[in-house]
Structure 1
Amino acid sequence: MPAPLLPGPRTTPRWSDLITPDALSRERWASCTRRTELVACGTEWDAVVIAPLERGLAALDRLELPLKAGHPVIADYVRLQLIVLVPAGTGHHCDLPGIRVLRGGTWLLIPSGTHGTAAATWLSPPAPHAPRLVDACRLRTALLHPDPSLAAR
């Protein structure tokens, strides 16, 4: 009789795996000539700024959004915040403690090109033709779900 299959190591990357920038990202930040740019919020999308970074990454894991699906998500490793782009006019659904919503009349620092800086780097760059914005109501629900690893701090 063959041996039972044991669970192998997890092969699907998770958002929470991105809590610390890797060496390749740091190298790219150092050599990138086009780093960041300011863009207006509220026209095509609102930006949901989540602190701490771990909270936002855990919420995206709960949503089970694939990392490479073109959902525009930015990490700010300087301030330890996650920025998730949601459809314009819907960011207010995420007004919660520890959350800032950038709407019309505000500006966001985004990576210019594919690399950016430690203050603004794409964890998931937008899809080239039609960014897949995260649903703000689903994001709110995921943010409200308690995360035991954060409560222990």
Structure 2
Amino acid sequence: MALTEWTKSMEWLAAASEDPGACKQEWQNGSTGVALLAAGRFWDVLIVPEELGLRVADLLEELPLLDRGPCLLDARRRNVGFLLPPEPQTVWIGTGVRLLGAGTWITAPAPHCRWGALRWLVPPDGTGTLNMPEVLEMALQRCAGELSRTQGHPAPAACAAGGRVRP
């Protein structure tokens, strides 16, 4: 990846930090290699169980003409987070599914970097591209159904693992 693209991605992601300068410094020269980023301002994060999230990430990669949004794997916690546009009135329903919005935080390595169990499956591109909620919802439902059939037990939740409700 070209240095300018990496820098653009890092700037975009660091903007979600309370101190973007300190965030970039930690990514480049720090001891932890991760930064604390606020959800709910520029993006929300939909957290799903790892097995489901990895299948969804693969499915989204296969869709032509789709600009995929950032997707972060936390192998230690065994989950995948998809960055979505902030939608304060949206509720996602499913076993092991939770939406991180305003007032919540994630830890993340620099784009295109891995730090321990954290790595970007799809790093931010620096342009603000996010996952489309409607596409993600359909992919979650499809993959939850496939997991249900292949593993011989019910899907993780009603409405698969991605049903959304708008109050």
TM category (shorter chain) comes to 0.5 to 0.7
Counterpart of 2:94, as a letter, is L
Q: Can you give the 5+ residue segments of structure 1 that lack an aligned partner in the other structure? A: 1-31
Match of 1:46 among 13, 33, 44: 44
Q: Can you give the 5+ residue segments of structure 2 that lack an aligned partner in the other structure? A: 1-27, 154-167
Greater Cα radius of gyration, structure 1 or 2: 1
Among all aligned residue pairs of Structure 1 and Structure 2, give the percentage whose two residues are the same amino acid: 29
Task: Name 1:83's counterpart in structure 2.
Answer: 81
Q: Compute the displacement of 1:91 (Å).
A: 8.5
Deviations 1:68-121 (Å, cap 9, x if unpaired)? x56211110111111110111178353322211100000011113531323321
Maintained 8 Å contact 2:53/2:80: yes
Deviations 1:21-40 (Å, cap 9, x if unpaired)? xxxxxxxxxxx854110111
The yes-or-no answer on 1:137 pairing with 2:134 is yes
Tell me the TM-score normalized by structure 2.
0.60
Maintained 8 Å contact 1:90/1:136: no
Counterpart of 1:136, as a letter, is P
Maintained 8 Å contact 2:91/2:99: no
Partners of 2:83 and 2:89 in 1: how far apart?
9
Partners of 1:101 and 1:94 in 2: how far apart?
7
Tell me the TM-score normalized by structure 1.
0.65
SS at match of 1:89: coil
Deviations 1:108-143 (Å, cap 9, x if unpaired)? 111135313233211111112x13211112212211
Task: Name 2:59's counterpart in structure 1.
Answer: 62
Alpha carbon RMSD of aligned pairs, Å?
Answer: 2.6
Q: Larger helix proportion, structure 1 or 2?
A: 2
Partners of 2:128 and 2:150 in 1: how far apart?
30
